[in-house]
Structure 1
């Protein structure tokens, strides 16, 4: 009996995701996927029948890890960007209310917890995909702990003029966005078939680059929107 089309699509998705997690570049992934499809077209088999579990087969290929960009750099920029958003918004609120900016011990703990959670998620993406419910519970617990720490542990560890804190946060926020923007070309790594022509290759890479650039500026844009709302709503 032939497996339904969605079963094949699910297998291919799992196969591509596993290779992405292993930092294989898009061209190599496309070539491996084309070989799977070619075999299945000739044999009449479904991918699961011919190659077994998608993730296990992807690991067995032992393809070189060639993707540019690097998870560590992306991760560091993400953590710094999120911390910068928090600093910018809380400092802007203090400025709008005419207060000095006070960084509390609980806020520091909250940022550290969030950063540690991001690092853990990035380092264990396969576990995230395999155990989404457990990971969601753990992430929710970490988030609740961060919120409680920020709300209840109020000793002040640093007090500075609010405009200065806003400026520091904005510089960090824009700086990480600029670095992500500059890395967009390297991060644009679509899955490409070896039969794709040069024009298709250029289109796919252009689309991926535009998406990476857009993502690079999401945090600054969100911060601007929230600061505008704060300005309008806080008297």
Structure 2
């Protein structure tokens, strides 16, 4: 069926995101270097992030709290208050960081906005995602905005019913197989994987097999041609 609606992920699809998390992790490792080697520290941090997703959700605030929790754990509760203060400032700095669009993102969104209904479907902290969308200059090109706590097949069914002609006439593009592609295909939409340079460990998944509606592109610049081929 003809694709009439296109859903876009935001972080690491339209603009860089994970790069800033990695830079902050490096600073975190430097602050705790006397208490844990970097590999062990990152494993502990990832475990804390996984535990805390259900409490804090996705985004910078939850990540900052997970760093603080990990710092308390690896120091046996003896982490200096100054280190906690620096971690809080690192989190605030991430929230202030300018939006850096992915190559070709603006051109892709502008071209497709002329022919299709566009919906931004993204996870994360509401205020931070609204800030980034406003600073990106792309907000007015979207017909619908969905900032959600998680992405499931039900998320895509609801989003594409609310902002389009249903999932069977929709396409979702993003850098996460786990969140952007697989559940969109489960909902009946096309799922287009556009990998980013850095992948968060908690978003890793295997590519779907025997899925006629799965596609992979190298960059967003390839998306308009793919959409044209799909009809």
Q: TM-score, normalised by structure 2?
A: 0.31
In terms of fraction of residues, the more helix-rich structure is 1
| TM-score (normalizing by structure 1) | 0.31
Which has the larger strand fraction? 2
